[in-house]
Amino acid sequence: MILVQDQLMDQSELHIGMEDRGYQFGDGIYEVIRIYKGHFFGIEEHLTRLERSAKELQMSLPYSIDLLKQRLIELAEVNSIHDGQVYLQITRGVAERTHHFPDNQKSMLVGYTKEAPRPLQKLRNGISVITTEDIRWLRCDIKSLNLLGNVLSKQKAKDAGCDEAILIREGTVTEGSSSNVFIVKDGVVKTHPANNFILNGITRNVLLHLAHEAGVEVVENTFDQSELMNADEVFISSTTMEITPVVSINDKTVSNGLPGAITQLLQAKFEQQIEKIQAV
């Protein structure tokens, strides 16, 4: 079953209009929310961010956050999702093709689930990444469907046999093509501040909170490519990748090619959060 507007239905019943603005302009927003052992992780935070994205794009949400939450829980339940995720997107809907907003907006909402195991091997062994220029627009804080800059960067990483591309804007490390980026130097964690140049990740915020709790110093400051290359530890965070160590950048080994101590500490704290949610 999938969610269409506020109803659960069979996928065969879904009809997307040829002139849907999501399809023609990428005029819409989305969220990916993790499910662990049948329970949503951070659903309120994701829906709050969805609300913010809508506001920034002057889109009104077609349903209340409470109703959306209820439907997503029903969707995950009816599909018996154990470890997986839900993808939810809302577009500005069908209207005669013209760039400006239509006078009568009829937004289109679709949500669907899939089973997705935790990326255990990558969490344990780390990943290799490349760096590439951040060619995206200046509102990366909005989780919009317009992802071509991200798509091209991720493809570059794939072509290089890597899992992620770390984006550099005018010398400054912003984030990954689908993740936030952190470095550790002399025991201090550093990550780009949450402004218009990055998506303020839900996992990023969980992580900052956990670091604070664990007494690990974190600074939300910009850093450049040479700080990245000379860091003691590097890791990325996202809903699907959790806290993943980076062990190689542009074929250069990070520290000794193994996940660092602070990365592992934060991973362990994150793991505890997952365990907690299962007990609910």
**Residues that are catalytic:** 143
- Which residues in 234-263 contact ligand PMP (CB under 6 A)? 237-239
Amino acid at 174: T
Burial class (CB within 10 angstroms; exposed 0-12, middle 13-18, buried 19+) of 19: middle
Q: Shortest distance, CB of residue 68 to ligand PMP, whole angstroms?
A: 17
Closer of 109 and 202 to ligand PMP (Cβ): 202
**175 touches ligand PMP (CB under 6 A):** yes
191 binds ligand PMP (CB under 6 A): no
Q: Tell me how far apart the alpha carbons of residues 20 and 93 are, in angstroms, rounded to a whole number.
A: 5
Q: Please count the other Cβ atoms lying within 10 Å of the Cβ belonging to residue 131.
A: 19
For the chain, the residue count is: 280
With H, G, I as helix, E, B as strand and everything else as coil, classify residue 141.
coil
Strands (E), 199-241: 218-220, 233-238
Exactly one of 201, 245, 259, 260 binds ligand PMP (CB under 6 A); that residue is: 201
Q: Is 203 in the site for ligand PMP (CB under 6 A)?
A: yes
Of 120-128, 155-163, 197-205, 266-274, the segment contacting ligand PMP by CB under 6 A is 197-205
Q: Does 202 bind ligand PMP (CB under 6 A)?
A: yes
The nearer residue to ligand PMP, 73 or 145, going by C-beta atoms, is: 145
CA 277 from centroid of its chain's CA atoms = 20
| Residue 204 binds ligand PMP, judged by CB under 6 A | yes
Q: Is 267 in the site for ligand PMP (CB under 6 A)?
A: no
CB 137 within 8 A of CB 169: no
Query: What is 41-90 written as a DSSP string?
Result: ESHHHHHHHHHHHHHHTT---SS-HHHHHHHHHHHHHHTT-SSEEEEEEE
Identify which of residues 34 and 93 has a Cβ nearer to ligand PMP in the complex: 34
Q: How far is the CB of 43 from ligand PMP (least distance, A)?
A: 12
Question: Does 134 participate in binding ligand PMP (rule CB under 6 A)?
Answer: no
Residue number, nearest CB to ligand PMP: 201
Contact positions vs ligand PMP (CB under 6 A): 32, 150, 175, 178-180, 199, 201-204, 237-239
